[in-house]
Amino acid sequence: MSRKEALSQFINQIHGRPVAVKLNNGVDYRGVLACLDGYMNIALDQTEEYVNGQLKNKYGDAFIRGNNVLYISTQKRRV
């Protein structure tokens, strides 16, 4: 039970897709998901760093340590 499969399916599905990652400190990273593991460590391509909703920085490649990750979101909708 508990639909763990739904989570693994989501993880497989978002590989190579644009995602938004929010950290516990409120900073947002948008980029193409290159890699994700069980710790929620994340590698992003074409990363944009948003602080308070404003673009602050761009990185070609970025690694995010999983303990900082609040959520990983697909990027269809925005406000």
Partner 1 sequence: MTAVPPPANISTLMPLELVDKCIGSRIHIIMKNDKEMVGTLLGFDDFVNMLLDDVTEYENTPDGRRITKLDQILLNGNNITMLVPGGELAE
Q: Which residues contact 34 (CB under 8 A, 6 or more apart)?
A: 16, 43, 44, 45, 61
Distance, CA of 34 to chain centre: 10
Does the footprint of partner 1 cover residue 75 (CB under 8 A)? yes
Where does this chain touch partner 1 (CB under 8 A) — which range of 43-51, 54-62, 71-79?
71-79
Residue with tokens 């404003």, as numbered in its chain: 54
Q: Which of 1, 12, 54, 60 binds partner 1 (CB under 8 A)?
A: 1
Interface positions with partner 1 (CB under 8 A)? 1-7, 10-11, 20, 24, 26, 40, 67, 69-79
